[in-house]
A = this chain, B = another copy of it.
Amino acid sequence: MAGRAFKNFIPLLDRVLVERVPHETVTKGGIVLPEKSQNKVLQAVVVAVGGGSKGKNGELKPVDVNVGEKVLLPEYGGTKIVLDDKEYFLFRDGDILGKYLS
């Protein structure tokens, strides 16, 4: 059971647990505009990953993102879960659009 847990919670299979983080954008006039004010927060940080999905012959296909990476979420989908009163979201690895290289 590979994968990485977060607060003792580990996603199963190819699920990825993320925490949405508003993306700060600086408008032309230099005003720092937290993304939340624009629309839905689509950027998030990976906090836990499942062991991966099972291939046809049972072999494990690891997920494509790692804990700590910043990713771009699709506009829809995801399952909200609450850990220690804080909101996190579970997405399938294959639904995550891309990631930001630090």
Contacts and interface: CB of A to CB of B under 8 A. Distances in A.
Interface of A: 1, 5, 8-13, 15, 17, 25, 42, 48, 50-51, 54-59, 61, 64-65, 72, 74-75, 79, 81, 85, 90, 94, 96-102
Contacts of A99: 9-10, 12
Given A61-B54, A74-B79, A11 B85 contact: no
B56 A15 contact: no
Given A48-B98, A75-B79, 15 more contacts: A8-B102, A9-B98, A9-B100, A10-B100, A11-B97, A12-B98, A12-B99, A15-B97, A25-B85, A42-B81, A51-B64, A56-B57, A57-B57, A74-B79, A90-B97
A58 B61 contact: yes
